[in-house]
Structure 1
Amino acid sequence: MHETASLVATASRVLAANGHGDLVWGHASVRDPDGRGVWIKTAEWGLEEITPERVHLVAGDGSVVEGGPGARHSEYPIHTEVLAARPDVGAVVHTHPPYAVALAATGQPLLPVSHGATMFTPPDVPRFTDTADLILTEELGKRVAADLGDRNALFLVNHGIVTVGPDLPTAVVTAVILERACAQQILTRSAGGWPSWSPPDEALAKREHIYSPTAIAAVWEHLVRALEEAP
């Protein structure tokens, strides 16, 4: 089995352990180093169940090039089209984490009430509102990629999130932090009173100080260690 499949399997389990599980839905992918498509988990399995044998290499036309048995995920165009539009991106995560879905549905912007949100804002996290249905076609995948633009995250309103990175650890850490940031904002709003948040210049400074590539790699290693140490 290709070593990239092992990385996708680990990433899937890390996502599940950090609030991104949704029964058998949601997926992470990484660009094939030989340019043949994307490595992505198979359908009909939960993120927490993914092993290297439950990962496919899927070409841009949706054909399964390599990998174990099982159904191909129908939303592969999210991954193939984002990667086609973004040569700087090496990996994509699409999940349905509850706090991010809830916050996006309210129409509120993500505010820097915490360190977490400063990874994304300012400016506002972009939103895809063309449909809340599944992204099943090349055309819809292209529209998702267009709304993502050059950003690291996108709300698919009433659906889920997309996060990206130069590699899969970065895309996964970005997804984990986005969900934490959304949860912190919902908690802040629910507490009443008058919420405060960092002004734009401070939020941008915090982004630079907190989210270096070295720090993101350290967070990934922490998440993997926690996964391995879990009972």
Structure 2
Amino acid sequence: MINYSSILKINSKMDIQVHGLSFNLKTMIQEVTSEHIAIHVPSYRGRERKLNPGDYVTARVFSKDAQYVFKSTVLGQREEKVILYLLSLPSHIERIQMRDFVRVKVQMPAEYRLLKSKEDTDGSYKKCFTVDMSGGGLQIVVPELVETGALMALRFTIQDSKDEDVLIKTFARVKRRDTAISKSGRYVLGISFEDIDERDRDQIIAFVYKKILEERLLEVER
């Protein structure tokens, strides 16, 4: 029997993808009972999106060390002080540990913009480059001192399975800062993605595994 209270916690962030839609909606868990999960009205790029009874959804809940993925159905909605949508309890929940995000060394150009908040639109992007990459974040080299905990907007381009360019745009948080790597004052930052679209994360993970496979093929040829 699933212990829902240990996984689906109040105020936990949740991404949901409605069957038939190509993008994820962002929401938050408000309540968990023996009959349903109540969530806030989901949104996409700041705009609220309506759910309909009978909609099939794939949900992803985030915790500190893992993600939990499950399938559910929209049961309806409840109106109190705010509108809440009710989802069916899942029969199975898949746990994905953060350490399952394999990291690969890859150098490529990227751009970042330091933010005061996620609504901050001031400032321009600055150039940086990546050192390594995983589905959870990057190591990047930047030309300035950036404090641990700083929030940034990040964008970079990777290639999909057809070698077509895919532009990734996401927020990121600085988790670690190394000392300057040269007299020019460049710094290595360990950053983790925040509020990333899970479709983008899947693209990054596929890109990482593609790079790992390419490295192994090179080793065999040697």
Larger relative contact order, structure 1 or 2 (CA cutoff 8 Å, min sep 6): 1
More helix by share: 1
Same fold (TM over 0.5): no
TM-score (norm 2): 0.26
Pair member with larger Rg: 2
